[in-house]
Structure 1
Amino acid sequence: MTLRARVFAVALPVVGTVAAVGLWWLAVVAFEIQPYLVPTPLEVFRVFGEMPGDLFAEAQVTLWETLAGYGISVVAGVLIGALIAGSRTVERAVYPMLVALNAAPKVAIVPLLIVWFGFDSAPKIVMAVLFCFFPITLATAAGLRSTPADLVELTRSLDASRVQTFVKIRFPAAMPQVFVGLKVALPLAVVGAVVGELFAADAGLGYLISSSGGSGNTALAFACVALLSLMSIVLFYALVSLERVVLPWVRETTA
């Protein structure tokens, strides 16, 4: 990537963000929206200046719940996706339950999670798993099924075992598709953790949003949402960077 392309890659998101904040500020001033409905960006920034320790302490709680739920989903999703891709019997037995679980309204499950796990981090981690498990499983199964036929024929001609074929050919070939699922699921893990915090928590950014709504402190709620967005962006691009390190050949062999 040239220097000019790198400058544009950094500058364009910054310009877009500044423009969006400017439009937000202009709309609040032009339509005389009251602060208890929509605060100005200045009021939101003031929250970061007044209580940075509290905000970042709560953000650490949400980050831990997100990463724990996401990690569990990655391990379980890749494993079950591999089983589904490798066996029609497993697919027919498990896939309908996965679809049903994904289609279920997850917010309705929160009261049950509170009964089962209490008000600790466990319900939030489970919510994160429920939100992001299915995309990882689906992407893994789809990637493993899309192994190029000529590579499969090559392994057969070399008398490779099923394990050798999986480790050397099928799984590496499926990795680009797996990373698609990982990137789709990562923001969903943040959403799942926050949904759990909205209903069953005494800590976390979701808890702050819920409590600020009751007190009419919308500036605090907007600050929490901004921090959650920043968290999602950082995690997403960290995953993109990991993909480029693990799969450097993808960018060279695709348009």
Structure 2
Amino acid sequence: MKKWREHTYSFILLVVVLVLWEAIAFNIKMTFILPSPTDILMKLWELKKVLLLEHLPATLCIILIGLGISIILGVGLAISMNSSKIIEKAFYPLIIFSQMIPTIALAPIFILWFGYSIWSKVLVTVLITFFPITINTYDGLRAGSNDLKELLLTMGAKKKDVFLLVNVPSAMPHFFSGLKVAVTLSVIGAAIGEWLGAQAGLGYFSRRMMTQFDGAGVFAPIIVLSAMGIMLFLLVKWVENKTLMWRKSE
């Protein structure tokens, strides 16, 4: 009950925004530019089978593959940078620089290389999502207590033991923080890739509806994308709570 009370103000704000949106759309009466929330819901109901059975699986596949690659790449790179100063000095500036390039500018290049296959969209997703995972995990590995490390070494522990007993527990909360950011960005990355070139997917369907001047049709897959992003975020949050139960005890 307490949790529901915490979200009361957010719910009220959402209702106010939807009511204002409905009123403005009703007065404008130009649904191809600004469809009302009721128009969008009706279109969503009309297209539910196409969106959920055909285009949602295509987008979800891109997101899961992209996130999987980002986790492996990000965690591996973070561990390597933490264990070697040379690797840190070589890769850290490049990781930062990779985020300075607009993703929207690289997406057409990926499509040029890989065509309209799934891998052009996966690369866009990886480019967006690996950064928060890498940086957060790296910061978490460095946040381990030096006093505890020295204590373990004086007691005869090996570097591997220090890594598993100190670095990994200190990095886990940071890793999940980065993953929660990455999971929301992955939806954006997949949609951008599909928007620029695809044969299926929610981003592709939204773009197709735009060419037909169907405003409600443009918004309908966006609603599904948002819902999917929220569900993935809640899933990561649930895994975090189950994995880091020791934080609650503290």
TM-score w.r.t. structure 2 length? 0.94
Q: Determine whether 1:39 maps to 2:8.
A: no
1:61 is aligned with what amino acid?
A
- The CA distance in 1 between the partners of 2:109 and 2:62, in whole Å, is 18
Shift of 1:13: 5.3
Cα displacement (A) at 1:16: 4.4
Aligned mates of 1:248, 1:38 — CA distance in 2 = 46
Query: Deviations 1:62-95 (Å, cap 9, x if unpaired)?
Result: 1110111011101110110111122111011111
From the superposition, tell whether residues 235 and 16 of structure 1 become closer, same or farther in structure 2 (CA, over 3 Å): farther
Residue pairs, 1:90-169, within 5 angstroms: 90-169=87-166
Residue 68 (structure 1) aligned with residue 70 (structure 2): no
Cα distance change of structure 1 residues 68 and 209 upon mapping to structure 2, 3 Å threshold: same
- Counterpart contact for 1:58–1:203, Cα < 8 Å: yes
Counterpart CA distance in 2 for 1:107 and 1:48 is 27
Which residue in 2 is equivalent to 1:50? Answer: 46
- The residue that corresponds to 2:20 in the other structure is 23
- Partners of 1:138 and 1:158 in 2: CA distance: 31
Structure 1 residue 27: Cα displacement: 2.5
Q: 1:175 aligns with which of 172, 175, 182?
A: 172
Alignment partner, residue 239 of structure 1:
236
Q: Which runs of 5+ in 1 are unaligned?
A: none
| Uncovered stretches (5+) of structure 2, i.e. residues with no partner | none
Identity fraction in percent: 32
Pick aligned residue for 1:213 from 210, 215, 220: 210
Aligned to 1:201: 198
Query: Aligned partners of 1:199 and 1:164: how far apart in 2?
Result: 47
Contact 1:176 1:250 in 2 (8 A): no
Q: Which amino acid aligns with 1:136?
A: I
Kindly tell me the number of residue pairs found equivalent between the two proteins: 249
Provide the rounded CA distance (Å) in 2 between the counterparts of 1:37 and 1:214.
Answer: 12
More off after superposition, 186-195 vs 114-123: 114-123
Cα distance per residue 1:2-52 (max 9 Å; x no partner): xx21443576655444333222212223x4251111101111111122121
State how far apart, in whole Å, the 1-side matches of 2:176 and 2:207 are: 33
Aligned-partner Cα distance in 1 for 2:29–2:96? 43
Superposed CA RMSD: 1.6
* Cα distance in structure 1, aligned partners of 2:56 and 2:11: 23
In structure 2, C-alpha distance between the alignment counterparts of 1:49 and 1:178, rounded to whole Å: 38
Distance 1:136 1:33 in 2: 44
Of stretches 48-57 and 130-139 in structure 1, the one that deviates more from structure 2 is 48-57
Kindly provide the amino acid, as one letter, of the partner of residue 201 in structure 2: G
Does the CA-based 8 Å contact 2:39-2:216 persist in structure 1?
yes
Structure 1 contact 144–173 (Cα < 8 Å) conserved: yes
TM-score, normalising length: structure 1: 0.92
Between 46-55 and 124-133, report the one with greater CA deviation.
Answer: 46-55
| Structure 1: distance between partners of 2:155 and 2:215 | 65
Letter of the 1:76 counterpart: L
